[in-house]
A = this chain, B = another copy of it.
Amino acid sequence: MLAIGTLSRRTGTKVQTIRYYEEIGLMNEAGRTAGGQRRYDEKDLDRLAFIRHSRQLGFSLDSIRELLDLADNPAQSCSEADSIARRQLGQVEQRIKRLQALKKELRRMVAECDGDSVAECKVLEVLRDHSECLTEHNEIGA
């Protein structure tokens, strides 16, 4: 039987994060000692490792929930798991595209500024006026 700290070390997950996963129903409710401390077995360890690895690959907790549900009954077809992964791949590709557009603009504005006064700063000029941009980047942020 493993204490939460051991699980934490073995999976690289913060203790609070493990408790959080339990709270939102991603991890099963852990068994408890008489004094109320959580105790885990190897199955819990595997499940947490699955969750963490999926997170590292960028899956949302909702997707992970679905994947865990699927993994729990091995008889059925895996087409749904595959389509979740494909969807994830699509999103990653989209984000890469967007970030590459941002990168282009940022590189250009950084390169074109000669480091004079703020009044003539190319960086600030571009930020003030999107028509200085070469790409469309409608959506916000990341």
The docked-state distance in angstroms from the alpha carbon of A138 to that of B139 is 28
What number of A residues sit within 8 Å (CB to CB) of B?
60
Interface string of A99-131 (1 = CB under 8 A from B): 110110111011001011111110110011110
Q: Are B55 and A141 in contact (CB under 8 A)?
A: yes
**Across the interface, which residues of B come within 8 angstroms of A77, CB to CB?**
115-118
Residue of B nearest to A86 (CB): B110
Q: Are B67 and A124 in contact (CB under 8 A)?
A: yes
Q: Are A117 and B78 in contact (CB under 8 A)?
A: yes
Interface residues of A (CB under 8 A from B): 46, 49-50, 52-58, 67, 70-71, 73-79, 81-82, 84-86, 88-89, 92-93, 95-96, 99-100, 102-103, 105-107, 109-110, 113, 115-121, 123-124, 127-130, 137-142
